Structure 1
Amino acid sequence: MKRKFLLLVMCLLTFHLSFAQNTITVQGRVTDAETGQPLIGAGVVVQGTTTGAQTDADGNYTLSAPADGTLTFNYLGYKATSVPINNRTSINVQMETDAATLQEVVVTGYGVQEKRDVTGSIASVKSEELVRQASQNPVSSLQGKVAGVNITNTGQPGASPQIRIRGTGSALGSADPLYVVDGTFVDNLSFLNPADIESIEILKDASSAAIYGVRAANGVVLVTTKRGRSGEATVNYNGFVGVQRVTNQLEMTNAREYAQLVNEKNGSELITTNLPSTDWYDQILRTAMIHNHQVSASGGTEKVTYSASAGYLNQEGIIEGNDYRRITARLQTDFQINENIKVGYNGIFYDYKSNDIPGDIFYQAYVAPPVIPVFKANGRYGDPVDFPVGNFANPQASLDWFNQESRGQRLTGNAFAEVNFLQNFTFRTSLGLNYGIDEYRNYRSRDSLTTVQFASRSLLTQQRSKTNMWLWENTLTYDKTFGDHDLTVLLGTSAQEDKSNFLTGFANDVEFNSDANLYLDLGDPETVRIEAGGNRATFVSYFGRVNYSFLDRYLLTATLRYDASSKFPRGERWEYFPSIGLGWRVIEEDFMSNQNIFDNLKLRASWGRLGNNNVPSNIFILRVATDERFGAIRNGVLYPGWNINTTTPSTLFWEVVEEFDAGLEMGFLDNRLTVEADWYNRKTKDAIFGVTPLGYLGLGGQILGNYATFRNRGMELIANWNHDISQDFSYSIGANFSRNKNEVTDVAIENATFYNGNLPVGGYQVSVTRVGDPIGSFFGYEVEGIFQNEQEIENSAQPGASPGDFRFRDQDGNNVIDERDKRIIGNPNPGFTYGINTSFRFRSFDLQIDIQGVADVDVYNGNRNVRYGNENYDKDFYDNRWTGPGTSNSYPSADLTGRNLDPSDYYVEKGDYIRIRNLQLGYNLPESVVSTLKMRNLRVYINAQNPVTWFKYNGFSPEVGGAPVSQGIDRNVYPLSATYNFGVNATF
């Protein structure tokens, strides 16, 4: 018996020694693969066991594990990673973010919510997607990534893109969304460095946006900047340098071709065809440099966390002399006073300077005859007086003569205090500030450059404007889970004041010594003139929201906001804006437990009312302006008369949007495939609309009132596929598609039509807004063909035409072509927008390809349409023009005069395009190299932005924005350029 016991002990000891020999101590560090920051509290488990550990404040871990075992690393928001031990005692892991998981929590305005519990339509774009594009404006980075959002970019340095969420819902008010940065309302995001942003949420439907009431009619863009985390300090550098080049440069006729066209137009050899040729686009365009740098630092303790950054952007324009410089600085700190009290602040400073160019320089280059040289042999500028072509500006002289500088500073900040009490209550108070100063100085010297570019006296113009906004908000939140019920109740108040003022001065005869000596008091005192103005608006709001969930499957969101705005008459300043959203997480039902098709299935529907107060303050006050019809002559002197130029009813009030949205969310194949679809019907009621008064009333301008109803109806579809094939290779493919139809459905005054009076093209009105058609529709004649001979003219409704002229359709058959024959000839509101976004990772390499496009949209080619004499022609016209019977039935002759310039569908072209929005290849250097360089992470990349765009429009770009009633009219658009960058992202 004793022998058997001894044998058993020896066997157990042998087994223990054998196990001990195969068990080792493993230690290491877990960090974010993108930023290199430590991941605190990440789980490390020995695969197949319950043995594990968690990382500390520095991301470090230590545990015992079999030498031939495998470690699995898990962290919320990151992809699980498994690593074989292979007898190693040190294993460092860089974890990648999981895009699908990151979407689970979204910012909803005055709070956050899990994506699964959202009943409205909210799109979220995280920082990882923003920094992978070398964009200078955060809004540009969203193009093609969000369904239902149409973004129109411009190539002008420092300019803000135009954004439309679910169509255009206003004719005379602003159609821009509300921007909210860390709880502070701002006008745009130009002051933000994209690398400072943690996430951007877009509230698209009325249910999600109703918490912002009267400001939310055009949607809401919520921006959350990065905040510090407790742990070791982390320093990050993100920068790139590159070049910009114009793409799809419009080809114009050369001197020989131009002379041929002018001679055809005049019927004689007005210009010889052997003159030297100037390509004015080549002359004024250049390859421009751009570089952007940002350094950030973050860290902290359990009591204090911080995040600070500084950025510098220097961007040259593709036009000589045009450049933009931006400096940004941000500081954010949170203080955890005790377990229940937290305070903090976030401040962003922005300073910019721009050397500007003439606003019409692209149009000058378009129309300038190529027979005019840049310089004469004597060194003076080429002058149209030397050629019988008319009065044209020399574009190079315009650039050299133009002397304008814009600059400004802005401070946007927010301070808050948050108190938790009675376990389930949280009170938060915050004060936001948005303060800005903008200045510009324009100096026109006394000079004589050409016969049309001269000034007998110098003129100095200076302007200084200031904006100041404060926003004080208080919220009380109750959050409680009891049994199968989850309840969150939010109550809040908001008070806001917006103030702005400007001061503009003019003076002649200021002598130019240097930019530093340009002051109004150095000019002729008798010519000094000062103009000033200002604006003030106040807002008061009360709001509340209830989020309720039962059994984690039946969802309710109810919101009510009570808003007042001083922009409207006293009796019309208050309004209620309610909304309700319902959701059903079908996947949680018992009858779904045994199916293998859906991993997620959710239905949702919402309804809500929003307001649009983005109209000029005191718009209801009658204003007067000079009117030549009311002039009077006294003692031989003409005294101009004055008249009311805009009349409004005393009860004018804000526009109201009502929207219904229905959505479906699905997940398949372990949620590798997710699909989301929305259908919406969005009505703008009581829209401010202008009606031309009857002549006998003696009024000028428009009669404004809440006269119209607009509708945007459409659908959105989003599909995403994510797949980790192996530890070495993973990829994702996302696609979004949107369809929107815009229409004016009702106008209170029968047959009323609003003509856009702000942007006539060649003296013609080319767009109208009326019942049954989209806002800002193009309006003109339909071209049936080209008159080939005199006989066709004799038998037509245009007896005064000539062969080669347009033959307009006689719509009413009365044998007269007049205003009654005009029809809607185009729609500038995009019908379809779409985007395809892909990313691939193979070991240390990553590749991103983004494609974006617009379809079913028209552009009015105002460049072709504006002709007063012998302007240049584009090459497409030269190749396709009518030169005699049978040569063309779609393009007219070179004699583009008279009725050939009437608005017609000849000038309306398709604005559809497909663009490679972004193409980026990156490489993360090996850990051994990074450690040698004393870094945590180092990524280098090459990037091509807008390298290729496919379209048929006869212009630089079909991407043409504009105000609602004049959008899509191409008059001198600053074209988008292709940018090629090399960048570095380093973390220390």
Structure 2
Amino acid sequence: MKRIFTKLSVLTFLCFLFINSAFAQDITIRGVVSDGADKTTLPGVSVLVKGTQIATQTDATGKYAISAPANATLVFSYVGYNPTEMQVNNRTVINVELTSTSQLLEQVVVVGYGTQKKIDVTGSVATVKGEEISKQASTNALSALQGKVAGVQITNSGSPGASPTIRIRGVGSVYGSVNPLYVVDGVWYDEISFLNPNDIESMSILKDASSQSIYGVRAANGVVLITTKQGKGNINISYDGYVGYQKVTNQVDMANASEYATLVNEQAGTTQFPDPSQFGEGTNWFNVIFRDALQTSHNVTVGGSTEKATYNFSLGYLKQEGVVKRNDFERLSARFNGSYQATNFLKLGYNAAVQQNSTADMPGGIIYKAFTAAPVVPQFYQDGTYGDPNDFPIGNATNNPRAQLDFFKQNSKNYRVTGNVFAEVKILPELTFKTSFGGEFGQAEVLGYNQVYVATVAQRNDISQLNITRGDTRNWIVENTLTFDKLFGDHKLTVLAGQTAQRQKFYELSASARNVPFNSDGDLYLSLGPIDAANPRTITDKGALATYTSYFSRVNYAFKGKYLLNASIRADGSSKFSGDQRWGYFPAIGAGWVISQEDFMKDQQAFNTLKLKASWGKVGNAGVPANLSTLLINQDPKFTAIIGGQPQPGANITSIVPPLTYWERGVGTDIGLEGTALDNKLNFELDFYEKRTEQGIFRIPVLTSIGLDDAVIIGNQATYRNRGFELSLGYGDKSESGFGYNVSGNFSINNNKVTKTVTGANPIYSGGASSTGGQLSTRTIVGQPIGQFFGLQVAGIFQTPEEVAASLQKSAKPGDFRYVDTNNDGAIDAKDRVVLGNPNPKYTFGLNTAFNYKNFDLAVDLQGVAGVQVYNANKGLRFGSENYSKDFYDNRWHGAGTSNTYPSANIGGGDNYKPNSWYVENGSYLRIRNIQLGYTINKALLSKWGAQRIRIFADAQNAFNFFKYKGFTPEITNTSPIESGIDNGIYPLSATYRIGLNVSF
């Protein structure tokens, strides 16, 4: 018995020993780490055995493997996500979903030639995620930024396929380019119309000079860095598509036919239409040329990664009809990118995009033509012929817009191939060399055919003509960088050194031929037209070539994560300039203090993070015409002399240039405060900045008394300044019931001013297209904003002949504008012109909200501008019997006492057409930019269907607009800063209504 008991005791001891050893023995745990929101796998996630130094990282597919005790705890951490702890509990497979952190300052942002944590950035950099961009009904990614970034003004054009204009912290040039530099996956571009918004992972906007200066001579107007989507995790196939339509909003009401006939009688002072009421409503020409336009988009993406490689392919198709009939845009795009870890020290990769688009163009000025066309004229007569204005007693100042649409034939096509290849070599763990070669190959073609036709007396063409213009773009860029990144105890040091070489080449060929026969198939060739004295063939060409070479360096230093220093310098050389001015040098420095890391902040509860930052830098603008220092000879026909009875061509110098011109210099300072509070639910950023353009290039008129006709001085002669304040706020939270929300807003103030010109107060006048008679409606002068509106001040309307006789305007008539003698010299002339308004917005703002509850999500975005004026040139461009708006008809002067604000129907007569305060209107607006409601199918159904995510949505963009402007929209796109804000028949604003689907497998 004793022996048996002893054996049992030994056996029991061995069992306990075995069990204890089993629990103490390490096991291998495997799993996948993914994003808790979109379920995509996450590479590079740190996996740590808590309380030890044992750690690993997830691979390119989000997979990991680690050995740990069966009772251990694993800690998963990743930048931008909340750390997560998981008990092993003897499990060998543990999959983890990480939730995104609300700690904005811990997120990684893209900066020039690299990335940084937001907390480490000393400049002003704003980031917009690709998912926010794709939620907008925008064919161009820039449009989706509207109202989302403080200090960034986006002005959209309603024309299909058109690129919006973007101004970062105001306008800093008159003669040079005012557009930012775009860098897509490391390749430089002047615009990004070729880019499919669905392909974008994130966009970073560099707003201050210190963050921009690493791009040197191309950075004066800001830099937009774009990263496209990369493959990650297991293979993923997604489809994003929508269908919708666009509808003109705020369509201007025009006088109907009876009202128009009344106005024509009043204008002529005679009864041209004995019975105006007989015409009734007549023709609404806006209804003739406008339509509800279809818009559809389809995008398919395939992406993923393996242990050593990533891959991503996308294919997109977009068709957008314009709200003007026959004005259509179609785009087909494809993008490929990938990378391969060839060895443990060598990584290879590529990015490539192919895009083709075509546009059925619309006739120039068709909007204005519809605005002015006579409503008494029918679209067609009963016999099917076009209604002819010459059949009515209104002269030939108007036309039939339908005929203009029907016989206009012009198509534009663009082909583009862009991308780059790169290699990264890990020389040492902390030292990386990267080389990249990229470029752009593009071809643009415009084919216009004016066929033989007869529509009306004035609208006809007796000789056909074919015009073809073809432009070729051939750009390339090579960049080499060396990056040292190391942590020395409390010191973190990152040093970048690099070199860039690039070439930009453009060539354009234009040709035309007469009497080319019409071909209904659209196959038109110049050779089909004859060549003789009556049918000359014309061929012209032009081109531009610019090369750059650059060297740059940057140092980022941080001590204990609370004292930050950033310093950089770039040297740029360009073939566009000569002599000592061929090279420019652009230094920058920034400093930051993370106050929340200080010991005296540890016990406070107000802020989770708080950082003070300041920066200064220099940038350049080489976007000015090359060879400005070339003396030009003009062979204008007016210089022809008659010698011996025969005309002899002459020439004259029409420009005076300094011996040397060079790029414009920008100098900027920025002071900011940013942080998070309320358990990281609230984030904020405040910035005060000054952006100054020095040695700006622009023209100054020269007196003809020196012997030059229409001469100008062209050179570096001005200084412009933008000074302002920006505020961004965001708050987000999620309740236990599953209701989550995020509300963010931004507000900006910007003041633009010309602070210096070489010639003192000698102004630049422009805006000549805004009125008849060669009048100019804008002025740029020292002490005032660029392109401010300038003209006579209206005091009221003359009511009686007696008022006219007692005034300074003896040639006026009752119903004409009564102007103010501002200088009290007893005369009304050009000396009485005063400042009428500012086309540069003082205030810009946006409010963006996102709500989600269970499977539903809702986003509402608002956007607007204030403190801005618009010049409504449509009211003053009158040459005869054009139509009037209904607003004018209702408020016009048509007899003593009827109106003291609106003139008579004779608005185009006398001095009424001169630029004045009546044409200048409030350009402020508030717009509900986007409303989108979505529903995501629940996971149970998804697993049955084999899908990861299915979401359906419906949205409305620009459906609600609030403004006082009398035109279609106060959002007016103009390329020239000195002609900004002038409405001369702009494309109307439209609302877009869509339903769409997002699916991923």
What TM-score does the superposition give when structure 1 sets the normalisation length?
Answer: 0.93
Where 2:636 maps in the other structure, the secondary structure is strand
CA distance in 2, matches of 1:171, 1:117: 35
Tell me which moved more, 26-35 or 326-335.
26-35
Q: Does the residue aligned with 1:965 lie in a helix, a strand or coil?
A: helix
Aligned letter for 2:477?
L
Q: Which residue of 2 aligns with 1:110?
A: 113
Q: Which runs of 5+ in 2 are unaligned?
A: 67-72
Q: Deviations over 1:766-806 (max 9, x none)?
A: 11111111101111001111111122222221111111111
- How big is the alpha-carbon RMSD for the aligned residues of Structure 1 and Structure 2? 3.1
The equivalent of 2:259 in structure 1 is 257
Structure 1 CA distance for aligned equivalents of residues 57 and 440 of structure 2: 43
Superposed, which structure 2 residues align to 1:546-945 within 5 Å? Answer: 546-634=555-643, 636=645, 638-639=647-648, 641-697=650-706, 698-726=708-736, 728-756=738-766, 759=769, 761-762=771-772, 763-896=774-907, 897-945=909-957
Task: Tell me the distance in 1 between the aligned counterparts of 2:127 and 2:106.
Answer: 7
Aligned to 2:538: 529
Amino acid at match of 1:426: T
Deviation sequence 1:81-103 (CA, Å, 0-9, x none) = 99999xx9999987664464587
Q: What is the match of residue 247 of structure 2?
A: 245
Aligned CA distance change for structure 1 residues 80 and 239 (closer, same or farther; 3 Å): farther
| 1:135 has 2:141 as partner | no
Match of 1:365 among 370, 376, 380: 370
Correspondence list, 1:92-241, <5 A: 97-98=100-101, 100-101=103-104, 104-229=107-232, 231-241=233-243
SS at match of 2:912: helix
Q: Give me the whole-angstrom Cα distance separating, in 2, the residues matched to 1:468 and 1:864.
A: 44
Q: Does 1:376 align with 2:378?
A: no
| Whole-angstrom CA distance in 1 between matches of 2:570 and 2:596 | 33
Residue type of the partner of 1:240? Y
Residues 492-511 of structure 1: pairs in structure 2 closer than 5 A: 492-511=498-517
Residues 783-792 or 630-639, more deviating:
630-639
Q: Deviations over 1:489-520 (max 9, x none)?
A: 11111111111011100000000123443000
Percent sequence identity over aligned pairs: 48
Residues 733 and 834 from structure 1, CA distance in 2 versus in 1: closer, same or farther, beyond 3 angstroms? same
Q: Which has the higher mean CA deviation after the structures are superposed, 641-650 or 400-409? A: 641-650
Cα pair distance change 1:562/1:83, threshold 3 Å: closer
**2 CA distance for matches of 1:39 and 1:498?**
39
The CA distance in 1 between the partners of 2:938 and 2:74, in whole Å, is 21
What is the rounded CA distance, in whole Å, between the counterparts of 2:162 and 2:863 in structure 1? 20
Aligned partner of 2:279 in structure 1 is 275
Q: What is the alpha-carbon distance in structure 2 between the residues aligned to residue 783 and residue 817 of structure 1? A: 11
Matches within 5 A, 1:313-332: 313-332=318-337
Query: Mapping of 1:479-490 within 5 angstroms?
Result: 479-490=485-496
Q: 1:491 aligns with which of 497, 501, 506?
A: 497
- 1:291 paired with 2:296, answer yes
CA contact (8 A) 1:30 1:42 kept: yes
Matched residues in 1 for 2:62 and 2:493: separation?
35
Displacement of 1:426 in angstroms is: 1.2
Following TM superposition, by how much is the alpha carbon of 1:173 offset from its aligned partner in structure 2, in angstroms? Answer: 0.7
Q: Does the CA-based 8 Å contact 1:567-1:619 persist in structure 2?
A: no
Question: 1:644·1:700 contact (CA, 8 Å) conserved in 2?
Answer: no
Deviation at 1:473, TM superposition (A): 1.1
1:79-98 equivalences under 5 Å are: 97-98=100-101
Distance 1:556 1:26 in 2: 42
Cα contact 1:204–1:219 (8 A) shared by 2? yes
How far, CA to CA, are the matches of 1:653 and 1:60 in structure 2?
Answer: 55
Structure 1 residue 37: Cα displacement: 2.6
Any conservation in 1 of the 2:60–2:306 contact (CA below 8 Å)?
A: no
- Structure 1 189/304 Cα, relative in aligned 2: closer, same or farther at 3 Å? same
* Partner residue in 1 for 2:341: 336
Partner SS for 1:803: coil
- Cα shift readout 1:505-549 (whole Å, capped 9, x = no counterpart): 000000012344300010121321101111101111111111111
Does the 8 Å contact 1:731/1:838 carry over to 2?
yes
**Contact conserved, 1:405 with 1:441, CA < 8 A, in 2?**
yes
Structure 1 segment 425-436 matched on structure 2, within 5 A: 425-436=431-442
Shift of 1:406: 0.6
Is 2:79–2:106's contact at 8 Å kept on the other side of the alignment?
no
Distance in 1 (CA, whole Å) between partners of 2:37 and 2:952 is 12
Instruction: Give the 3-state SS of the residue equivalent to 1:675 in structure 2.
Output: strand
Q: Could you give the per-residue CA deviations for residues 945-981 of structure 1, whole angstroms, max 9, x where no partner exists?
A: 1111111101111001211110100011112211111
Partner of 1:978: 991
AA aligned opposite 1:613: A
Whole-Å Cα distance in 1 between the matches of residues 845 and 423 of structure 2?
A: 42
Q: Deviation string for 1:911-930 (max 9, x for gaps)?
A: 00000111111111011111
Matched, 1:474 2:460: no
Q: 2-side partners of 1:369 and 1:129: how far apart? A: 45
Q: Which whole-Å CA distance do the structure 1 matches of 2:952 and 2:496 have between them?
A: 45
Conserved? CA contact 1:571–1:651, under 8 Å: no
Q: 1:587 to 1:36 in 2, by over 3 A?
A: closer
1:78 touches 1:101 (CA, 8 Å); kept in 2? no
1:460 paired residue number = 466
- Give the length in aligned residue pairs: 969
Q: Which residue of 2 is the match for residue 956 of structure 1?
A: 968
Q: Could you tell me how far apart the structure 2 residues matched to 1:696 and 1:652 are?
A: 25
**What letter matches 2:739 in structure 1?**
F
Distance 1:923 1:95, change over 3 A: farther
In the aligned structure 2, how far is the partner of 1:550 from the partner of 1:51? 27
User: Does the 8 A contact of 1:920 with 1:941 survive in 2?
Assistant: yes
Q: Could you tell me which runs of 5 or more consecutive residues in structure 1 were left unpaired when the two chains were aligned.
A: 64-69
Conservation of the 8 A alpha-carbon contact between 1:577 and 1:610: yes
> Is residue 2:549 matched to residue 1:540?
yes
Q: Measure how far apart 1:77 and its partner are.
A: 2.9
Q: Distance in 2 between matches of 1:33 and 1:945?
A: 29
Shift of 1:629: 4.1
Relative to 1, partners in 2 of residues 1:905 and 1:278: Cα closer, same or farther, differing over 3 Å? same
User: How far apart, in 2, do the equivalents of 1:903 and 1:620 lie?
Assistant: 34
- Distance in 1 (CA, whole Å) between partners of 2:940 and 2:837 is 61
1:167-212 Cα deviation digits (max 9, x unpaired): 0000111100111111111111111111111110111000000001
CA distance in 1, matches of 2:943, 2:374: 62
CA offsets 1:672-721 (integer angstroms, 9 cap, x no match): 11110000111111111211111112232421111111110000000000
Does the 8 Å contact 1:431/1:470 carry over to 2?
yes
Aligned to 2:127, what secondary structure does the other structure show?
Answer: strand
Q: Which moved more, 1:460-469 or 1:471-480?
A: 471-480
State the secondary structure of the residue aligned to 1:906: helix
What residue is the counterpart of 1:987 in the other structure?
Answer: 1000
- The alpha carbon displacement at 1:275 in A equals 1.5
Quote the residue 1:345 is aligned against: 350
State the alpha-carbon separation in 1 of the partners of residues 558 and 501 from structure 2.
31
